[in-house]
Chain A
Amino acid sequence: MSPIDRRMLYHINWPLLGLAALLFAVGVVNLYSASGFRVETGQTMSSFYQKQLIWGAMGLVGMVAFLFLDYRHLKTLAWPLFVLAVLLLLCVPLFGKTIYGAKRWLDLGFFNLQPSEIAKISILLIGAKLLARGSRPMGWGELILVLLVGLVPAGLIIIQPDLGSGLSVLLLLGGMILYRGLRKGVLRVLLVVGPLLLPLSWFFLHDYQKRRIMTFLDPSTDPLGSGYHINQSQIAIGSGQIWGKGYLAGTQSQLRFLPEKHTDFAIAVFGEEWGFIGAIILLSLFSMFLYQIFVTASVAKDRFGSYLAAGVFFYFFWQILINMGMVLGLMPVVGIPLPFISYGGSAMVVNLCLIGVVINVSMRRFVFKRS
C-alpha cells in the first residue's frame, strides 16, 4: 500500500467529486418527489429516498477504500476477478433465484447478488489490462483476443436471459477498444460487416424484446403496455415545458399516471417538475461529470490508468445514453437505470466505487519516477 501524502490529496479530482455529490443530491431530492405511491401494490414508498441515502453512505465507504488501494494493484486483481465473475455467472443457472421470470440473481442470504454487475467491473479491469499492453491502434490479432475474453461473460449474461446487461458489457468493452483505436483496415471491415450483422440478431431476440422494438417504432400498437410507458413519460416531460411545474407539483407523476417513476423513468419526474431549464442543468452536470473523467484519462501517467478511466467513462456514458434515450422516446425500452438519479442500491455502490477508482488514478499521477 503506497502512502497517501499531502500531494496526493492536492491532486484529487475535486471537481469530479463535487459533481458526483451534486448529482447524488439531485437524485435523492427527485426520489423524494417520486416517492408517492407505488403503482403496482398501492404501498407507499416514501422510504425509497431514505434507502438511497443509506446506499450512498455505503458507496462512500467503498469509494474511500478504493482511494487507499493503489489502482495499479488492480492490474494483478484483473484475472482472478474475471475467473470469479465467470464462475458466479455459471452458478446462476444452477442456483439462481428467479425474479420476474429471469434467473439473474444469486441469493447470498443477506442480499441478492447480481453477478452481471461483477462481470462489468471485471471486464473493465481486464480490458484496461489487455489494451494497455500496446500503444498503437489494434490489429486483428489483439482485437480478436480481447473480444473473445469479453464474449465469455457477455454470452453467459445474455442467455440468463438479460440482454440489457449482456449488451452493456459488450458496449463497455467496445468503447474501450475504440478508445485504444483500430487499424484503418480493421475499422473499414467492421464498418461494413457490422451493419450487415445487425438484422441477423433479430432472430435471437425474445418475443417480448421484439415487441418492445416494434412498440418503439410504433407506440400506438401497444398503448397500454410498453407503449404506455413511452407515451406517459413523454407527456410528463413535455408538459413540464420551459420552467417546469415546480417541485412536488408534477401532475403526471403525482397522479401516478407514470409507471416505474422511481427507477428507470425517474428522469421523467425531474423533467416534469423542473422543465427545460432544469433538464439542461442536469444534462450539463452529467456532461461536466463525464468531462472530468475524460480529463483524468488524458492526464494519467500510465496507460493502464488512462484505460481504466476511459472504461469508467464508457460505463457511465452508455447508461446515460440508453436511459435518457429510452425515456425521451429515442430508443426502445430497456431496463437500464440512470446513474445517481434512479433508485437502486447495488448500482449506487458500484457507481461510487468506480468514481473512487478514477480519483485514485488522478491523485497518483505524480507518484511516478521521472524516466
Chain B
Amino acid sequence: MGTTFAGCLGGGNGNGDGGIPETITIGALGPAESPMGDSILKSAELAVSEINDDGGIAGADVEVSTKDTMDQPGTTREVYQELTTGENVDATVGIFGSESLLSIMENIAQQSTVHLTAGAATPEAPQLVADDYETNKYWFRVGPINSVFLGESQLQFAADRFEAMGWERVAFLAEDYKWTEPITSDIQQRLEEEAGIEVTGVRRIAEGTEDFTPIYDQLESSDIDGAYTALAHIGTNALVQWAQQQRPFGFGGIHVPTQLPSFYQATEGAAISTFSQTTATANSEVTEKTVPYANAYQEAYDSLPVYTGYSAYDAVYMLKEAIEATESVDSDDLVTELEGMSYTGTGGNIEFFGPDGRFPHDVRYGPDYAQGVYFQWQTDGEGNGRQRVLWPDDLEETEYQSPPWA
C-alpha cells in the first residue's frame, strides 16, 4: 500500500491549512479472515474504486489502505498506529469487534483523525464522546445501530411479530461480550412488560463455549417456543448444534453468522428457519442505494456483503461528501461537517446524534433514520436458501415459518 503525506504535519493528521492533497488516503480496518472484516475491507475498496472512476474526491485521487485487526485488541492497536502514524491516512473506517474498537479510542483521540466505525455496536464509544467531547470528537459510528438500539429493536420485533409466530415463552441467549451487555441489562423485564412475552431466563454464554448440548437440554426441559438470541462470535456453533440436535424450538434474534449470505450453503442447510436482525439484505430496498451496492459488490467479489459492508461503504461516501463540502481533509473541519450531515446510504438515512445528544456521534435509530430489517432463511422452490424479510412492515416479504422438525 502506498504512503501519502497529507500536506504539512500539524494539527493531527489533517492539513494545517485545510486544503485538499493530491491523494487522499483512507484506512480500513477489520478482521480479514472473518466475513465481517472481509466485507469491511472489500466495501471500502469498492467505494474507493467507484469514487476514483467518478473523478475522485474534489479532484484528488483516493487510495485505501486495508489492515487486518485479527479481531484482537492488541493487533488492532498496532495496525491503527501503522495507518495513522506510519501511513498518515486522512481518516479510518471499519472495525468489527467492540473490544477492538475500545482498544483504539485513546489512539483515535491522540491522532485526531476521523474514524467512522462500521461493525462494532458498543455504546461505550459514544459515552466517551459525551464524557470528553473535545478529546473524543473524532469518533463516529455509521452502523450498525448501537446495542441499546439493538435491544430496542429486538423488543419492537417481539411486540410486532411474536404473537403471530407463536412465541409465547422464550429464553434469551446472549454471548458474554461487551456489545450484548446493554441488551441483556433489561431485556427480560421489558419483553415481559412491554411485549407480554414470558421469559424463562436470560443466559450470558461464555466466550469459548463449544458444547451447547447442556444449555439446550435445559431450554428444552423448560418448554420454550423460541430461543431469542444476541450472538455473533460464538453463533455458528450455537446454531449448528441447535439444528443438528433438532431442538423443538425456534432460533433467532440477532445472529451475526446467519446474516452471511453464504451461510445457508456453508452450514448445509442448518440455518433453515433461523432469523436475524441485520442492517440490510441484498434484495431489500432499505433505500434506493441498497440493492445497487449489493449488486456491485457481487459483481466485484462474486459474493454478497454482510452488515459491516453496508456501513463501511456508506462511511467512505460520507467522508467524500464531508471532504468536498469543506474542501479540506482537516479533522476538525470534517467533524463539524459530519455532525450536520444527513446522508442517504445503503443502510438507511444516516444522521448522527449531536454533541449533546443521547449518544454523541452515534448513528440515529428509527424508521426515518437507520432501522435495520429482520429476515429469515427460507427455501425457494429449488431448495436453495433465501433470506426473506419479515420486518418492518413496509419491506416484509414473507411470514415466519417454524423449523421443519418442530
Partners in one complex: no
**Chain A residues at the B interface, C-beta cutoff of 8 Å:** none
